[in-house]
Amino acid sequence: MTGNQPGQYSSYLIISSLFSLAIVTVFTLFVKRRYFSPLSDIPGPFFASFTRLWQVITMVEGNSLLVFYDLHQKYGPFVRVAPNEISVSHPDAPKQLLLTALHKVHMRYTNIISAYLTT
Protein backbone atom coordinates (compact mmCIF):
# COMPACT_ATOMS: atom_id res chain seq x y z
CA MET A 1 0.00 0.00 0.00
CA THR A 2 1.53 3.25 -1.10
CA GLY A 3 0.09 6.69 -0.92
CA ASN A 4 -1.18 8.82 1.85
CA GLN A 5 -3.70 8.08 4.49
CA PRO A 6 -6.93 10.11 4.36
CA GLY A 7 -6.23 12.41 7.33
CA GLN A 8 -2.54 13.01 6.68
CA TYR A 9 -2.89 16.29 4.77
CA SER A 10 -5.35 17.73 7.27
CA SER A 11 -2.97 17.05 10.17
CA TYR A 12 -0.14 18.82 8.27
CA LEU A 13 -2.48 21.73 7.64
CA ILE A 14 -3.41 21.97 11.32
CA ILE A 15 0.23 21.79 12.46
CA SER A 16 1.40 24.39 9.94
CA SER A 17 -1.53 26.66 10.85
CA LEU A 18 -0.71 26.44 14.56
CA PHE A 19 2.97 27.10 13.85
CA SER A 20 2.08 30.13 11.71
CA LEU A 21 -0.25 31.42 14.42
CA ALA A 22 2.52 31.08 17.01
CA ILE A 23 4.98 33.00 14.79
CA VAL A 24 2.46 35.81 14.16
CA THR A 25 1.62 36.00 17.89
CA VAL A 26 5.28 36.27 18.92
CA PHE A 27 5.97 38.88 16.21
CA THR A 28 2.92 40.90 17.30
CA LEU A 29 4.06 40.76 20.92
CA PHE A 30 7.55 41.98 19.96
CA VAL A 31 6.15 44.88 17.91
CA LYS A 32 3.74 45.84 20.69
CA ARG A 33 6.46 45.82 23.36
CA ARG A 34 8.95 47.68 21.15
CA TYR A 35 6.80 50.42 19.60
CA PHE A 36 3.50 50.69 21.50
CA SER A 37 4.61 50.37 25.12
CA PRO A 38 4.34 53.43 27.41
CA LEU A 39 8.10 53.00 27.84
CA SER A 40 8.90 52.90 24.12
CA ASP A 41 10.50 56.35 24.10
CA ILE A 42 12.98 55.47 26.87
CA PRO A 43 16.38 54.63 25.31
CA GLY A 44 18.07 51.31 25.88
CA PRO A 45 19.41 48.20 24.16
CA PHE A 46 17.28 46.96 21.26
CA PHE A 47 16.58 43.54 22.75
CA ALA A 48 15.64 45.05 26.11
CA SER A 49 12.47 46.45 24.58
CA PHE A 50 10.93 43.00 24.10
CA THR A 51 12.83 40.46 26.19
CA ARG A 52 14.74 40.08 29.43
CA LEU A 53 17.02 37.38 28.02
CA TRP A 54 19.99 39.72 27.47
CA GLN A 55 19.82 40.66 31.16
CA VAL A 56 19.86 37.01 32.24
CA ILE A 57 22.89 36.34 30.03
CA THR A 58 24.84 39.27 31.53
CA MET A 59 23.96 38.06 35.04
CA VAL A 60 25.17 34.54 34.25
CA GLU A 61 28.40 35.97 32.82
CA GLY A 62 28.83 37.97 36.03
CA ASN A 63 29.32 41.39 34.49
CA SER A 64 25.88 42.95 34.88
CA LEU A 65 27.19 45.79 37.06
CA LEU A 66 29.62 46.91 34.36
CA VAL A 67 27.01 46.48 31.63
CA PHE A 68 24.50 48.65 33.52
CA TYR A 69 27.18 51.27 34.16
CA ASP A 70 28.06 51.33 30.44
CA LEU A 71 24.38 51.56 29.49
CA HIS A 72 23.92 54.62 31.70
CA GLN A 73 27.07 56.17 30.21
CA LYS A 74 25.67 55.61 26.72
CA TYR A 75 21.93 56.34 27.18
CA GLY A 76 21.79 58.66 30.20
CA PRO A 77 20.07 58.52 33.62
CA PHE A 78 17.05 56.50 32.42
CA VAL A 79 17.64 53.23 30.55
CA ARG A 80 15.03 50.72 29.47
CA VAL A 81 16.43 47.36 30.56
CA ALA A 82 13.35 45.16 30.04
CA PRO A 83 9.92 45.48 28.40
CA ASN A 84 8.49 46.87 31.65
CA GLU A 85 11.58 47.97 33.60
CA ILE A 86 13.71 51.11 33.70
CA SER A 87 17.07 51.52 35.39
CA VAL A 88 17.47 54.95 37.01
CA SER A 89 20.76 56.62 37.93
CA HIS A 90 19.64 60.23 38.40
CA PRO A 91 20.01 61.45 42.02
CA ASP A 92 16.55 63.08 42.19
CA ALA A 93 14.60 60.43 40.29
CA PRO A 94 14.09 57.81 43.05
CA LYS A 95 12.49 60.40 45.32
CA GLN A 96 10.14 61.53 42.56
CA LEU A 97 9.25 57.95 41.60
CA LEU A 98 8.61 56.90 45.20
CA LEU A 99 6.37 59.92 45.85
CA THR A 100 4.25 59.21 42.79
CA ALA A 101 0.77 57.81 43.45
CA LEU A 102 0.37 54.24 42.18
CA HIS A 103 -2.93 54.85 40.40
CA LYS A 104 -1.12 57.23 38.00
CA VAL A 105 1.66 54.82 37.13
CA HIS A 106 1.94 55.05 33.33
CA MET A 107 1.25 58.72 32.75
CA ARG A 108 3.08 60.04 35.81
CA TYR A 109 6.27 58.00 35.27
CA THR A 110 6.34 58.99 31.61
CA ASN A 111 6.00 62.68 32.54
CA ILE A 112 8.73 62.49 35.20
CA ILE A 113 11.14 60.72 32.89
CA SER A 114 10.36 63.06 30.00
CA ALA A 115 11.07 66.06 32.23
CA TYR A 116 14.53 64.71 33.13
CA LEU A 117 15.36 63.70 29.58
CA THR A 118 14.52 67.14 28.16
CA THR A 119 16.59 69.06 30.72
Tell me the domain boundaries of the chain: 37-118
- pLDDT, tens digit (0-9, with 9 covering 90-100), for 79-111: 999 988 889 888 887 787 777 765 544 555 556
Q: Is the pTM of this model over 0.75?
A: no
Reduced DSSP (H G I as helix, E B as strand, rest coil) percent helix, strand, coil of the chain, to 5? 65, 10, 30
- pLDDT, tens digit (0-9, with 9 covering 90-100), for 1-50: 455 565 667 888 899 999 999 999 999 988 888 888 888 889 999 988 88
Beta-strand relationship, 78-82 and 85-88:
antiparallel
Q: How far apart are CA 50 and CA 31, in angstroms?
A: 8
